[in-house]
Amino acid sequence: MPEYSSNEGPLEQARTYGNLLVFSARRSPLALTPEHVATIAHLARLEVRDEDVSGYCDRLSRILEFVAQLEAVDTSAVEPMAHAERMSQRLREDTAVPVSERDLFQQNAPATDGGLYLVPKVIE
């Protein structure tokens, strides 16, 4: 597995922390090398054929470029939200209610005894 330094390759930074490979993408174009793809595949426990590596280099580089575009957007004035639409759920009051519908449920069971479900023996 190749080792990366902070000034190597097309990425501004690529560092390893133990088994973790960390990319900091700040420059464009973000072209991954076949060694990068091999390292990522190794860390993800994926088998990538040699003839597929160039395709993955291109596709993963485009994904990193898109992420870099997203990182360039100023979101400091955007309020964090849990959902894309402004909505709230109508929640019922959380109260404990003693409910035992076991007899109702066991009416659908083929065999019961004393509140227990009877099943056929599977181990001889």
- The tokens of 5 are what? 């330094």
Residue 110 domain flag: no
Residue 77 domain flag: no
Q: How confident is the model at residue 21 (pLDDT cuts 50, 70, 90)?
A: low
How many domains does the chain contain in total?
A: 1
Report for 11-15, 29-33, 53-57, 82-86: range of highest mean pLDDT: 53-57
Please write the tens of the pLDDT for every residue from 39-79.
999 999 999 999 999 899 999 999 998 998 888 888 889 88
Residue 92 domain flag: no
Residue 109 domain flag: no
Residues with Cβ within 8 Å of residue 67, at least 6 apart in sequence? 25
**Does position 7 have pLDDT exceeding 50, yes or no?**
no
Residue 35 domain flag: yes
Residue 21 domain flag: yes
For 45, the 3-state DSSP assignment is coil
Q: How confident is the model at residue 80 (pLDDT cuts 50, 70, 90)?
A: confident
What domain range includes position 65? 13-72
Q: Write down the pTM of the prediction.
A: 0.44
More confident position, 12 or 105: 105
Please write the tens of the pLDDT for every residue from 93-117.
888 888 888 889 999 999 999 989 9
- Whether the CB-CB separation of 30 and 24 falls below 8 Å is answered with no
Tell me, what's the pLDDT at 14? 47
